Structure 1
Amino acid sequence: MPLPKLTLEEKKQALKKAQQVRSERAKIRQDLKAGRTGIREILEQVDNDVIAKMRVAYLLESLPRIGKVRTRKIMNEIGIDETRRIQGLGSRQKQALLERFGNQ
């Protein structure tokens, strides 16, 4: 399926929106890393489009002392696919994440 033809103005708007989303995600990651917010607050904001479309791996890697290797191991143990986004998590998967990281 070919990509739709966008006008120059539509391209500018799309780029601006993408940059805004990246900035918001970066702030969320900084807040998680610094401990200003926890995973429980993030998982409760599924109605926020920026959070809902964030990959779970990206979220976990933002937690203190959790890197790519530990993230992959944790996701395998819980049964979360590498490409899963937060909005696609099941209730058991969310509960498992909260049990593991709820106090952070």
Structure 2
Amino acid sequence: MGRPWSNSRAKRDQPIGSIRLAGNLFSQGDTSPIAAHRGMNILIKVGYLAIALGLCALLLFQWLGSAIDEHGYLKEPFALVPVGTSLLMGGILAVAIGLFKRRLRYSSAD
């Protein structure tokens, strides 16, 4: 029979969680429903993470506040506003796209 690791059929028949297939789950040729479902979950999870980070940045901007120093300059963490807003909008967009694609996939399966 020879070496089982040199046989392409042996690689294909291994369970999904095996070490050899771990790097190939999201390859371009993989169209299995498991890989597509995991891809959508990742998009939605990244979207939720971006929303949480965006809200944290905006809340941190409010919490730190602003002050005027003795020379009349305004001191505030203004960079948190565009970063927080961008993360919030990007997260909302990612979650919306992920949920829309999930709905399309399940509605076309019927």
TM over 0.5: no
TM-score by length of 1: 0.32
Structure exhibiting the larger radius of gyration computed from Cα positions: 2
TM-score by length of 2: 0.31
